Amino acid sequence: MSLHRLASGVLLPGFHGTAAPDWLLKRVADGLGGVVLFGRNVVDDAQVTTLNAQLRGARADVVIGIDEEGGDVTRLDAGRGSEVPGNHALGAADDVGLTRAVAASIGARLAACGVSLNLAPSADLVLTLEDPVIGVRSFGSDPEAAGAHVAAFVAGLQSVGVAACAKHFPGHGASTVDSHAALPVLPRTHEELAAVEFVPFRAAVRAGVRSIMTGHLVVPEWGSAPATLNPLAVRVLREELGFTGAVITDGLDMKAVGGDLAEGSVRSLAAGVDALCLGGEPLDDDGLRWLVDSIVAAVESGALPVERLEEAARRTAALGAPATSVEAHDPSLGLVAARRALEVRGTLALSGPPVVVDLAVEPSIAVGDVPWGLGPYLAELVPGTSVVAATSADEIASLAAGRPVVVVTREAHRHAWARELVSSLVTIGLDLVHVETGVPGPDLGAVARVDTHGGSRVSLRAAAERVAAATRTTPPSERQGEHR
């Protein structure tokens, strides 16, 4: 195999458009490893199926990857919210059988669309409430419990022929920096990581996970290079955790890597990484040519052994095989799981149709915009519900005019203005229900709090059902039973 084809074979770029451009189809035919799909490439399942058929028409074993974690990170449902709850909700429900079933349902849907690799699940832990990038993408804070759910997710996804990817090794849990914007340094020793953060990754390896994604994370004991560029990190994966599958980079265009994209690509390969994820910023034909030429030049100069490139291309190619049979996925399973994940604190009882205020915060890059919300679901279930936009306690009190208020937050503990606004509403003495859609933080004093453990559309629907069932004017025929 030529050096240019080998170099192409380790690249997984993103691209613009909802149909495959001609230059991309030619690249795939000539050996491009694969692509990663994002929300910008998706209209609906039928369109994605057609797009992937185009790609597989160019080469049947092309790797087609996507970030379909469920919950807050979704590409197939980017415009309307995921049909399944995310990891933190599944961790709250704490039923590994349910987690496996949800993952299998996601996988069946992806397989039907022609996707071969799902960049999920997140095996990171919640070790600080100040983590800005993982949050509800994690199954929780307990290493063993999270590991059991990671293993179940991997097993469910791969049971329908879609490769799983446990991420982001060695684990974002203790970080307070978003690697999309800067380079996090983990305040952890190797010994601490081995006892805590590695546990879910070990569980994934035991479950047969076919790929693991490195995080752009510095472990001081391993040197100054982030794990993606660090040979020691890959050595730990191979030798200490016993992983034999493909190692994939997190997006090499993220600011945590810094520097030249071509340099980062060569350094990742030299460190022992196999597949290079390049999807955040779409590449065109010229950009791919530049990367391929840079990798070839590194081999020719002796900076990158050809044997290393051959190994990486071989492991990447193994992720391209499409599912041999496609099972029907269960679109109703997600709402069942979301209902079981709900947790209610305090006394949930509304005297009448409420005023709903959604305190929108800046979304993370991984999640993107969240255009759906709780208000429309509650308005559907409780006639007379008002959905308002307001940013001050006095304004909300005026709009409520004595009615109950439902305030929706996303990790209020991380956003001072949202935390202070909820506290002010409590001080005013409103009949207040606080719906928290992120990782639950400290109680802010509302009469009742509903924790959804995620912002998927099914999680918000489940919360609306619970609030509606506790609202005096809700007809008995519409009341939902207790779910847990």
CB 72 within 8 A of CB 65: no
The predicted structure's pLDDT at residue 180:
62
Whether 480 shows a pLDDT value over 70: the answer reads: no
The predicted structure's pLDDT at residue 175:
82
The catalytically annotated residue of 250, 274, 358, 451 is: 250
Q: What are the pLDDT digits (tens) for 147-194?
A: 999 999 999 999 999 999 999 999 988 887 766 667 889 989 999 999
The predicted structure's pLDDT at residue 481:
43
The predicted structure's pLDDT at residue 322:
86
Q: What are the pLDDT digits (tens) for 310-332?
A: 999 999 999 998 887 777 788 89
Which of the 8 DSSP states describes residue 83? S
Domains and CATH numbers, the chain: 3-317 (3.20.20.300), 342-478 (3.40.50.2300)
180 part of the active site? yes
- Which position has the token pair 């993107």? 368
Nearest Cα to 106, choosing from 156, 165, 62? 156
Q: What are the pLDDT digits (tens) for 343-364?
A: 999 999 999 999 999 998 776 5
Q: What are the pLDDT digits (tens) for 118-146?
A: 999 999 999 988 888 899 999 999 999 99
CB proximity list for 329: less than 8 A, separation 6 or greater: 104, 105, 106, 107, 108, 109, 112
CB proximity list for 152: less than 8 A, separation 6 or greater: 96, 97, 99, 100, 103, 207
Backbone angles phi, psi at 168, to 5 degrees: -120, 100
Strand 165-169 to 211-214 pairing: parallel
Nearest Cα to 160, choosing from 318, 321, 327? 327
Backbone angles phi, psi at 300, to 5 degrees: -65, -30
Nearest Cα to 84, choosing from 371, 336, 438, 411? 336
Q: What are the pLDDT digits (tens) for 366-383?
A: 555 566 689 999 999 999
Output the six-digit token pair for 345: 């604190």
Beta strands in 347-457 (DSSP E): 355-358, 386-388, 405-409, 432-436, 448-451
pTM tops 0.85: yes
45 part of the active site? no
Q: Which secondary structure element, helix H or strand E, spans residue 278, and what is its range?
A: strand 276-278
Q: What is the mean pLDDT of residues 12-23?
A: 96
The model's confidence at residue 251, banded by pLDDT at 50, 70 and 90, is: confident
The catalytically annotated residue of 180, 329, 434, 453 is: 180
- Which position has the token pair 């192409």? 8
d(CA 453, CA 50): 34
Nearest Cα to 250, choosing from 226, 283, 276? 276
CB 133 within 8 A of CB 180: yes
